[in-house]
Amino acid sequence: MKRAVYPGSFDPITLGHLDIIERASRLFDEVIVAVARREEKNPLFSWEERIELAGQATAGMERVKVEGFDGLLVDFVRSRNAGTIIRGLRAVMDFDYEFQMALTNRKLAGELETVFFLPSEKYFYLSSSLVRELARAGGELSCFAPPVVVEALKRKFSR
């Protein structure tokens, strides 16, 4: 059983994340989308909301499940008997941060590998922060986020 963990803040999950999840689920028997608590980052959506939205957005995807985690990523990955951490790489702007994170995780848990996936070019520029900014300004979101997230953002900003 080849199991991989795809961690992130997912604030909120976007079509770019879903593209990575789909690609990963073709290579692994199970992909666990691991939603980090990260309340220190003052997320727009609560941890529970981010888990719920990721669960709804991936509901039709076989081999994919969603869980929340708090604390060290490598501890969570080990606790699920997974050997791989998945991350998406967009442009070079991601590289420094991802390189640092992957090497830190390797130092902490040498048996785990980080595997990077490239999203479809149409999502190269896409990020959760861009989606939040667009939503705040009342922009059209359907090309960037799944329908459950579009609805949740509309509710958030109509208050």
Active site residues: 17, 41, 90, 128
Confirm or deny that 142 is annotated as ligand binding. no
Could you tell me the smallest distance in angstroms from the CB atom of residue 158 to ligand PNS?
Answer: 26
The 8-class DSSP code of residue 111 comes to T
* E-state strands within 13-96: 30-36, 64-69, 84-88
* Count of residues near ligand PNS by CB under 6 A: 10
Find, among 67, 66, 69, 57, the residue nearest to 19 by Cα.
Answer: 57
What strands lie across the sheet with 113-117, from one edge to the other? 64-69, 30-36, 3-8, 84-88, 113-117
Does 101 engage in binding with ligand PNS (CB under 6 A)? yes
Selected binder of ligand PNS within 27, 59, 72, 143 (CB under 6 A): 72
Site string for ligand PNS, 2-21 (x = CB under 6 A): -----xxx------------
The stretch among 1-9, 45-53, 132-140, 149-157 that binds ligand PNS (CB under 6 A) is 1-9
**Residue (41 or 140) nearer to ligand PNS, CB:** 41
DSSP string, 100-118: HHHHHHHHH-TT-EEEEEP
Question: Is 6 strand, coil or helix?
Answer: strand
Confirm or deny that 71 is annotated as ligand binding. no
Structure tokens at 87: 């991350």
Q: Are 31 and 86 in contact (CB under 8 A)?
A: yes
Does 36 engage in binding with ligand PNS (CB under 6 A)? yes
Binding site for ligand PNS (CB under 6 A): 7-9, 36, 38, 72-73, 101, 104-105
Please state the residue numbers annotated as binding site: 9-10, 17, 41, 73, 87-90, 98, 123-129
